[in-house]
Structure 1
Amino acid sequence: MEWMYKRFDELTALELYQIIKARIDVFVVEQDCPYPELDNHDQAAVHLYLHHDKDIVAYARLLPPGSTYCQASIGRVLVHSNYRGGGYGKELLIRSIDYIINEWQEKEIKIQGQEYLRRFYGSFGFEEISDVYLEDGIPHVDMLLKK
């Protein structure tokens, strides 16, 4: 298994297909939530993922400031259902935060997290900055990390 950091134009067609498939499998199929998965933000992102054979084990989309928020952001965070419970989510968040702080020299990271993951994100220092609200029928909360 290998962690990869790639800009959109560095992804091969196969890698992009595997990433989109993983995102659709988790967010659309598993969570039974039809929403516009392709939102024109992938082109500005750094795609961080752990790859094993044909599977995307873990994935996050890192967006620079000004893409979706004033701050840098982490989104589309997932761990494939076959690999949950192995610590990949924690490592994914550590790597995501580290990249944004050290590579982009950013001091704030904003996320739109699913409500049931508030404690998970909070364990990395993210603080809630909104009330819980529905996004595509799923409870979410905005959170901010300041370094």
Structure 2
Amino acid sequence: MNTTQLVKTFQQLNVNELYDLLRLRSEVFVVEQNCVFLDQDNKDQQSYHLLVFADAELAGYCRLVPAGLSYPEVSIGRVITSPAFRGKGFGRKVMELAIQNCREIFGPVDIRIGAQTYAQEFYASLGFVPEGDVYDEDGIEHIEMVIKP
């Protein structure tokens, strides 16, 4: 399986890339997780978008959010693996690429995430440390986690 990655600003995304990433986010965050929320939160326009393709099909995605937009720190959000590619290591690949690209774009800074609690061990395996209390976001338990440079 041939994998490739793209990192683009919102303005650099072509219409097909934008459609594919928004469709995948809706498929998982709205339909699969049965979570009614407004996914388009006006942060996409200021963020970088990491798209990971497997044989030209979108297998994973996340957005790299500048400091001050979601948290005081740089953050990684909307982390997602396509259902068709789960169990093949794409979640880890997306996060490793996200961390690497954050370092390249924003420098050696702290990176904060709002992790769904069921995935806390996964994020800890990448170096993220929990901070604060568990909180509810759209009916799903989350916890903030931080990785240092």
Same fold (TM over 0.5): yes
Residues 62-85 of structure 1: CA deviation (Å, up to 9, x unaligned)? 011111111000000000011001
1:119 aligns with 2:121: yes
* Offset of residue 54 of structure 1: 6.9
* Offset of residue 51 of structure 1: 2.5
Task: Name the SS for the 1:129 alignment partner.
Answer: strand
* Offset of residue 52 of structure 1: 4.2
Q: Distance in 2 between matches of 1:146 and 1:86?
A: 27
Compute the TM-score of the two structures, normalised by the length of structure 2: 0.94
Residues 62-113 of structure 1: CA deviation (Å, up to 9, x unaligned)? 0111111110000000000110011111111111111111331032000001
Alignment map for 1:60-139 (pairs within 5 Å): 60-139=62-141
* Offset of residue 55 of structure 1: 3.7
Q: Distance in 1 between matches of 2:69 and 2:52?
A: 24
Q: Aligned pair count?
A: 147
* Structure 1 residues 125 and 12: alpha-carbon distance in aligned structure 2, compared to 1, 3 A threshold: same
Task: Name the SS for the 2:106 alignment partner.
Answer: coil
Q: Distance in 1 between matches of 2:20 and 2:55?
A: 11
Q: Distance in 2 between matches of 1:54 and 1:108?
A: 32
When the two chains are superposed, the root-mean-square deviation of aligned CA atoms in Å is: 1.2
Compute the TM-score of the two structures, normalised by the length of structure 1: 0.95
Task: Name the SS for the 2:78 alignment partner.
Answer: strand
Q: Is the 8 A contact 1:18 1:54 kept in 2?
A: no
Q: Which runs of 5+ in 1 are unaligned?
A: none
* Offset of residue 26 of structure 1: 0.5
Amino acid in structure 1 at the alignment position of 2:92: K
Q: Is the 8 A contact 1:65 1:73 kept in 2?
A: yes
